[in-house]
Structure 1
Amino acid sequence: MQLNRVFRRTLVAAALLAAVPLAASAQVKVGISVSATGPAASLGIPEQNTVALLPKKIGGETVQYIVLDDATDTTQAVKNIRKLTADDHVDVVLGSSVTPASLAMVDVAAETGTPMISLAASAKIVEPVDGPRKWAFKTPQNDALMAHALADAMAKQHIKTLGFIGFSDAYGDSWLQEMKAAGASKGIKIVTAERFARPDTSVTGQVLKLLAAHPDGILIAASGTPAALPQRELVQRGYKGQIYQTHGAANEDVLRVCGKACNGMILPAGPLLVASQLPDSNPVKKTALTYVHAYEAKYGAGSLNTFGGHMWDAGQLINAAIPVALKTGAKPGTPEFRSALRTALENVKELSASQGVFNMSPTDHAGLDKRGRVIVKVVNGKWVYQPDL
């Protein structure tokens, strides 16, 4: 009997000792859903590649990254965030690469009380900061910020009438709305608007309608390699006006697919795209080049794709916010920690990253200002900084 009691006490003591390392090895879990396949693969692949460069330890805690592919499919993106929150119990979600998927994920983030950092552009993902959007943040520049940069450039080029062709989804909707407002402030009128789907292989009908309107310039509101389709068609049809793109086309794969047809196009972009061309006084140059060097050291010279920068910047945001959340005493894996992390993200200030300087607030979950944009032009197949536009 005495031996049994001793044996039981020994087992209990062993169990308690075994529990100590488990408690000490608590880790922060970061769930990721990117479009590594499908129409937005040229965005999602560099974002996925960048995960390997993110910090493995933050605030004394190890960080585990769980990466899923949503195949540029909204339904799959929702399935991914549900798995990440319900099965993997992640503390924060990064993604998705595209606007429609990100918009669909926001409700799940709020429902589960999990902060989410989108890698997509539309301001609708985070504005206004109420309801479910209290849990959503984003790293790409808002459409409005970039639309006003384009309007400024258009005015300097004496553009008065503008044609528009954009995705037939939330990305195109947002850009049409923002460009109308930004253009109106400079006396620029959108005279015709056409739409196309991400998987489309022809836009001949839409381009013919654009040409019939004889606009001074045409804006293509698309992201990734599909942005090359209208560009090529317009050039092949002999359009002589100025062609503009959004920051969704700031992608080496776009230049590869588009070829010579991309020469001369103008777009707003994050500073990362032309980091080496920026003056040393630019507040983003140093941090942008840090990412450039890290990415190309791993994947090869010339391999950088600026969309990976949005993932890098998401990593910088959680690197700044996790130590603050830990100081509250909340433990990773708990609702309290996720809430503390959301609050910490909302209070990030003057964080220089690859695409700009972040200043989040309870009313601004994008956090970028004019330091997060430049105007570039494609010259002989290369991105060239345009400080005068």
Structure 2
Amino acid sequence: MNIRIPGAALAAALALAFPLHAHAQVKVGVVVSATGPTALVGIPQKNTVPLLPTQAGGQNIEYITLDDASDPTQTVTAFKKLITEARVDALIGPTGSPNSMSVLQFAAESGTPMLAPVGAASVVLPMTEQKKWAFKTTQNTEIIAQALVQDMVARGIKTVGFIGFADAYGDDWYQVFSRMAKDKGLNLTVVERYQRTDSSVTGQALKLLAAKPDAILVAGTGGAAALPQATLAQQGYKGRFYQTHGAALPAFLKFAGKSAEGTILAASLMLVLPEIPDSNPSKPIAQDYIQRYEAKYGEKPATFGANVYDAGLLLQHAIPVALKSARPGTPEFRRALRDALEQTHELVATQGVYTMSPEDHSGFDQRGRELITVKDGAWTLLK
């Protein structure tokens, strides 16, 4: 069962919805940004929920899906309601990195495992008492940045400009990339920031252009990742563009237009699945997800939907383990579920292979990324 509710009606809908339904044997709350500035990321995540596993360990799984309208305040409201009124056993979401940071304390205080389909590694790193309840279904910044820096060095790039979101996602990327760049002898000449909701970055782009870096890294997500790149191209920048895995969706190609050509990013194999060898263990799982999504919605999913799909696979794998210790709907079950997630070992999913540990709640290694470029307006493996 899924309840899709626009952000403005959230509180009223929750009050009506929860008393009408008996507690499922396993209950999972899902919070996505299906409307608002992050909707290009949140819509495929919302659409993925009906494709998630409905049984695990002989128990039914019920999903309650809420839209936070890309607003961290509404994210907090949704999380609190799901925890206190729906009494969910686990949480998937929210969509944005700032939204995820805003609800870590509530997942921890209630002892509810949270699987965040977001980019910022700060959701799970450095590990703290709060963050031990959070898991992440995207590649940590370190893994993606490492691939980009290696490519820059191989191409003889010496100077790099950086422009990223002025939030947790941009902060995380700046901290990781600036450290890696320094270690590899890259000179970070200029750093600029912008908001997810900005419609113009002309001022920031002019400063980047004046610095004349060999390459520019844009740390944004969704369609907003295209804005700095398109602006710089219009102003005459001729250097190399790099993007993070936050740009890995069709909307980036659409909004960036011709400026996207030659862009380099590291992201999951789903972007270039036809080019991936059949021997890759994730390929059949990704193909099955894409086919099911396409059959239901008439279009292929963005990779961000796969982040939620993998969260479902992780729970499906962990629930039977947790059921050995406690019954759903209890604090003991939620703790056992958290422990089972942390013990995930070599779980093959759509984007790579997950192996969690007390220190690593993302679980990806280099099998969870591919170096990709844009050629003739389409994603292709960088060879």
Question: Does the alignment reach a TM-score above 0.5?
Answer: yes
Which residue in 2 is equivalent to 1:269?
267
Structure 1 residue 69 displacement after superposition: 0.7
1:321 pairs, out of 302, 318, 322, with: 318
Q: Aligned AA for 2:193?
A: R
Superposition map of 1:40-79 within 5 A: 40-79=38-77
CA deviation profile, 1:123-155 (whole Å, cap 9, x unmatched): 110112221001000101011111111001111
CA deviation profile, 1:322-364 (whole Å, cap 9, x unmatched): 0110112x11111011010000000011011111100001111
Distance 1:356 1:362 in 2: 19
Stretch deviating more after TM superposition (152-161 or 90-99)? 152-161
Structure 1 residue 26 displacement after superposition: 4.8
Distance 2:179 2:286 in 1: 30
**Conserved? CA contact 2:270–2:351, under 8 Å:** yes
Which residue in 2 is equivalent to 1:83?
81
Which residue in 2 is equivalent to 1:14?
none
CA deviation profile, 1:22-67 (whole Å, cap 9, x unmatched): 99x8511000111111111011000000001001111111111000
Which residue in 1 is equivalent to 2:250?
252
* Residue-pair matches, total: 363
Distance 2:235 2:280 in 1: 39
1:214 pairs, out of 209, 212, 215, with: 212
CA deviation profile, 1:83-107 (whole Å, cap 9, x unmatched): 1000100000000111100011111
Task: Determine if the alignment matches structure 1 residue 376 to structure 2 residue 372.
Answer: yes
Structure 1 residue 283 displacement after superposition: 3.2
Distance 1:158 1:327 in 2: 55
Matched position secondary structure for 2:70: coil
Query: What runs of 5+ residues in structure 1 fail to find an aligned partner?
Result: 1-21
1:30 pairs, out of 16, 28, 37, with: 28
Query: What runs of 5+ residues in structure 2 fail to find an aligned partner?
Result: 1-20
Superposition map of 1:226-375 within 5 A: 226-300=224-298, 302-328=299-325, 330-375=326-371
Matched position secondary structure for 1:163: strand
Which residue in 2 is equivalent to 1:120?
118
RMSD: 1.4
Matched position secondary structure for 1:166: strand
Distance 1:355 1:56 in 2: 21
Distance 1:349 1:51 in 2: 24
**Conserved? CA contact 2:24–2:61, under 8 Å:** no
Structure 1 residue 275 displacement after superposition: 1.5
Task: Determine if the alignment matches structure 1 residue 188 to structure 2 residue 186.
Answer: yes
Q: Aligned AA for 1:215?
A: P
Superposition map of 1:100-139 within 5 A: 100-139=98-137
CA deviation profile, 1:170-219 (whole Å, cap 9, x unmatched): 11111011111222232212110000001000000000000110100000
Matched position secondary structure for 1:130: coil
CA deviation profile, 1:260-317 (whole Å, cap 9, x unmatched): 22111111111111122112233322222221222112222x4221110100100110
Q: Aligned AA for 1:306?
A: T
Which residue in 2 is equivalent to 1:200?
198
**Conserved? CA contact 2:24–2:62, under 8 Å:** no
CA deviation profile, 1:3-22 (whole Å, cap 9, x unmatched): xxxxxxxxxxxxxxxxxxx9
Distance 1:263 1:109 in 2: 41
Which residue in 1 is equivalent to 2:18?
none
**Conserved? CA contact 1:283–1:371, under 8 Å:** no
Structure 1 residue 163 displacement after superposition: 0.2
Which residue in 2 is equivalent to 1:146?
144
Distance 1:161 1:259 in 2: 25
Scaled by the length of structure 1, the TM-score of the pair is: 0.91
Stretch deviating more after TM superposition (317-326 or 183-192)? 183-192
Percent same amino acid among aligned pairs?
52
Matched position secondary structure for 1:131: coil
**Conserved? CA contact 1:40–1:97, under 8 Å:** yes
Structure 1 residue 221 displacement after superposition: 0.4
**Conserved? CA contact 1:276–1:289, under 8 Å:** no
Q: Aligned AA for 2:312?
A: G
**Conserved? CA contact 1:126–1:136, under 8 Å:** yes
Distance 1:176 1:233 in 2: 21
Stretch deviating more after TM superposition (254-263 or 96-105)? 254-263
Structure 1 residue 257 displacement after superposition: 2.0
Distance 1:220 1:138 in 2: 22
Distance 1:268 1:47 in 2: 20
Distance 2:284 2:300 in 1: 19
Distance 1:177 1:189 in 2: 14
Distance 2:31 2:187 in 1: 38
Distance 1:96 1:272 in 2: 21
